[in-house]
Amino acid sequence: MQTLTFNTTLKRVVLLSGSRGDSKVIETFDNVSTVKCSELGFYEIMQKTGEETNSAIPVMRVSIANTNMLITK
């Protein structure tokens, strides 16, 4: 089971290989506008395309079935 942490203040997502305790960082994404739950059973990490725009693109999908998601401020 992996852990995805979305910090809404820093706009950062960190994906860990297990629980928060002693896991390794798999991926880190900055400038993330949101994390969506797709209809296909994935968390989609949406990253802004630029500071002056409101558009975002998906940069990674992880399975909801084996991922815990934490939302922090």
6-53 residue pLDDT tens: 999 999 999 999 988 889 999 999 999 999 999 999 999 999 988 777
pLDDT, position 6: 98
Show the tokens assigned to 16: 């860990």
* Residue 67 or residue 21, greater confidence: 67
Confidence of residue 1 (pLDDT cuts 50, 70, 90): very high
Per the CB < 8 A criterion, the answer to whether 13 and 25 are in contact is no
Query: Can you tell me the distance from the alpha carbon of 54 to that of 49, in angstroms, rounded to the nearest whole number?
Result: 8
